[in-house]
Amino acid sequence: MALNVAQKTSLSITLREFEVRLARLRVLLEQYESVTRLTPEGVARLRGMIDRQQAVIDDLFRRFELKRETIDVVQSMIAELSISWTQLVDSRSDKLGRYGDVDADLKATLDPAINQMVEDCLSMVRLLDKARVNPTPSGGLFHDPVLPKMLE
């Protein structure tokens, strides 16, 4: 049972994407097990199914000599945090006005927490950027001294 290059590529991508989704299911089960409607037995069954699917994926990678993609986890974390800080900035009181009237006290009660989360996201990105295989030259956008002023 041989696969041509295009078939191997297609199968590899599908299996990798399924593997990522299975990993996400594991994380969700760990974080939210107590709030699911699943019984403890149901959670155990689901974990077993996830483990079996992972074993099938591993077997298919071996059997068809598929290449495992090396994922730059640091780059993925930076990307996730970049999306988060952008969304957080768009959640400040001045931006919420697009959805209707904004309570005058919201700027004092919401914005400091949002701004702190944005700063923390940027700090995490700066830390992660130092661990990248190819760090951003001169720090890039996340080290730009103008960026914090944009958030004010």
Tell whether the torsion through CA atoms of 32, 36, 39 and 43 is positive or negative.
negative
pLDDT score at 146: 47
In a shared domain, residues 81 and 119: yes
For residues 129 and 142, the answer to whether their CB atoms sit within 8 Å is yes
> 122 near 144, Cβ under 8 Å?
no
Q: What is the pLDDT of residue 111?
A: 95
pLDDT over threshold 90, residue 136? no
Q: Is residue 59 located within the same domain as residue 107?
A: no
- Residue that is last in its domain, among 63, 81, 100: 63
Full domain range(s) for residue 58: 5-63
Same domain? For 13 and 42 the reply is yes
More confident residue, 58 or 148: 58
* Residue 38 placed within a domain: yes
pLDDT at residue 148 greater than cutoff 70: no
Which residues lie below 8 Å from residue 18, measured CB to CB, with a gap of 6+?
A: 53, 57
Domain shared by 99 and 119, yes or no = yes
Please report the pLDDT score of residue 73 as a whole number: 85
Q: Over 90: is that where the pLDDT of 108 sits?
A: yes
Dihedral of the CA atoms 42, 45, 51, 56 (nearest 10)? -120
Q: Are residues 78 and 146 in the same domain?
A: yes
Residue 1: per-residue pLDDT: 73
Domain count, the chain: 2
Claim to verify: residue 56 and residue 114 sit in the same structural domain: no
The answer to whether position 68 is within a domain reads no
Whole-model pTM? 0.62
Helices (H), 33-64: 40-63
Alpha helix segments (H runs only) across the chain: 5-32, 40-63, 73-89, 93-96, 106-109, 111-130, 146-150
Residue 123 within a domain: yes
Same domain, 79 and 58: no
pLDDT for the residue numbered 83: 93
How confident is the model over 6-63, as pLDDT tens digits? 999 999 999 999 999 999 999 988 887 676 788 888 889 999 999 999 999 999 999 9
What pLDDT, on a 0 to 100 scale, did the predictor assign at position 7? Answer: 95
Q: What SS3 state is found at 38? A: coil
Angle at CA of residue 74, ends 71 and 79, nearest 5°: 95
